[in-house]
Chain A
């Protein structure tokens, strides 16, 4: 049950966060933080298909995470969900076409090893 939930969380979070990144890139940089402007930005985002998809995936991820928290320690649940990291970095490179420099790969690798050490 525990690992099934982790698998579900990893899948939904990965899809949700990549869609979120794609949607926000499509929207463009948020520069104006006055309430009216933020309201307009939210209205635009509510019509952004990538953002809508990401909200649905993140909602599924949230309820699976809630269930996982009810049956496991916080110190298991949080690092276990970090498995999304590897998949998301690869998707950032190959789907979102970001330029992942050697320095970024090295940083990502250090983080992955660090998370493994914390959680295993």
Chain B
């Protein structure tokens, strides 16, 4: 049983990294790709903006995000996945600093520290799953 828990933990870490990075970079690429002139007033304009190269790359990453999140939720609790993947807010803040030259105020650094503390509290100290799950068809 011990090895099963260890196996789940490794899998969980791997998928958490994929979920976090695909979401952060997906959002960032979408923001980068939407032209300042986009009005998004009609359904057609929504479809058209999806063909902007950076937006398309963002959408591709967001598909990876949803798929990897579904896989993660197939063995992990929602109340585990939520706090652990919230490290993504830190990644987005750092992306803003590095890529967009946004400054990170003392207040923001304090927020980042709290998120990191919360994430480590949940990820290091609680079981990945606390409920009975269906046996997936093989």
Contacts and interface: CB of A to CB of B under 8 A. Distances in A.
Interface in A86-100: 88-89, 91-93, 96-100
Interface string A98-120: 11110110111111011111110
A67 interface: yes
Nearest to B88: A78
Contact of B136 (A30, A70, A107, A117): A30
A17 B73 CA distance: 10
The size class of the interface chain A forms with chain B is 35 or more
Contact of B73 (A25, A40, A41, A75): A25
A8 interface: no
A31 B49 CA distance: 37
Interface in A62-100: 62-63, 66-67, 69-70, 74-75, 77-79, 82, 85, 88-89, 91-93, 96-100
Contacts, number: 174
Contacts of A75: 92-93, 96, 102
Given A29-B75, A82-B89, A103-B126, A114 B112 contact: yes
A96 B81 CA distance: 13
Contacts of B69: 20
Contact of B83 (A31, A70, A104): A104
Nearest to A74: B31
A18 interface: yes
Interface string A1-22: 0000000000000000110110
A85 B49 CA distance: 29
A108 B116 CA distance: 11
A88 B82 CA distance: 8
Given A74-B28, A85-B86, A96-B131, 14 more contacts: A21-B73, A21-B77, A27-B136, A29-B136, A31-B136, A70-B49, A74-B27, A74-B100, A85-B82, A97-B131, A103-B126, A110-B114, A114-B113, A116-B111
